[in-house]
Amino acid sequence: MQVTDLVRYNHVVRGLYFDAFAKLSWAEVVADKGLSFDSMRNVFLHLALVEDRWISYIIPGRFKEWVNPDFDSFNDIDSLKKYMLNVKGKTEDYLTTLLASELNKQIAIPWGDKPDTKISVETALCHMVMEDMIHYGELSALLWQMNLEAPYLGFWRFKYQNP
C-alpha cells in the first residue's frame, strides 16, 4: 500500500461529508453543536486546513508563513466547497510530483517553545489522514444523533474502485 492511496481515499471521504452537509440548512451547518471545533463547518474547515498546512507549509519548510483562516469568513456552502477543492488540487499537484525516495525525507515541525520535532514526509502524510479520520467519527456521531445517515466508504472498496 502507498500512503498516497490513503490521501486520495481521504479526499473522496471528505467529499462525501461535504455532500452530506450540502443537504442541510446553512444554519444547521454553522450551529454550535459542542464539537471539537464547535460547528460542522468549523470541523470540516479544520480537516481541510490541516491538510493545507501540512502540504503547503510544513512539508516545504514554510510553517512560519502559515496564517490561520477566519472560520467565519466561510459564510456559505460554496465557500467550503471552494476551499476543499483548492486544498485537494494543491495536494494532488504535490502527490503527482512526490518521489518514493522523498517519503523518508525528514521535515521539522515547530512545536511552540520546544525544540522542533523531526518526522518523515510519509509519517506527516499518514498523520494528516489519521487526524481527519478522528474527526470523521465525530461528524458521523453528530449526523446519527440528528437521525441522518453518515457517509461511509471502506478503504477496501475505494481500492477496488481505484486500482
For the chain, give every domain's residue range. Answer: 3-96+104-161
Closest CA to 57 of 45, 68, 65, 69: 65
d(CA 155, CA 42): 25
What was the pLDDT predicted at 45? 98
Per-residue pLDDT tens over the stretch 77-127 = 999 999 999 999 999 999 999 999 999 999 999 878 888 899 999 999 999
Per-residue pLDDT tens over the stretch 29-38 = 999 999 999 9
Residue 40 in grid coordinates: 460542522
The architecture CATH gives domain 3-96+104-161: Up-down Bundle (1.20)
CA 69 to the chain's CA centroid: 15
- The length of the chain is 163
Dihedral angle of Cα 81, 87, 90, 94, to the nearest 10 degrees = -130
Per-residue pLDDT tens over the stretch 28-72 = 999 999 999 999 999 999 999 999 999 999 999 999 899 999 999
Does residue 163 register a pLDDT over 90? no
CB 89 within 8 A of CB 69: no
Closest CA to 83 of 138, 130, 21: 21
What was the pLDDT predicted at 1? 63
DSSP 3-state percent helix, strand, coil across the chain (nearest 5): 65, 10, 25
Residue 119 in grid coordinates: 518526522
Dihedral angle of Cα 45, 36, 121, 11, to the nearest 10 degrees = -40
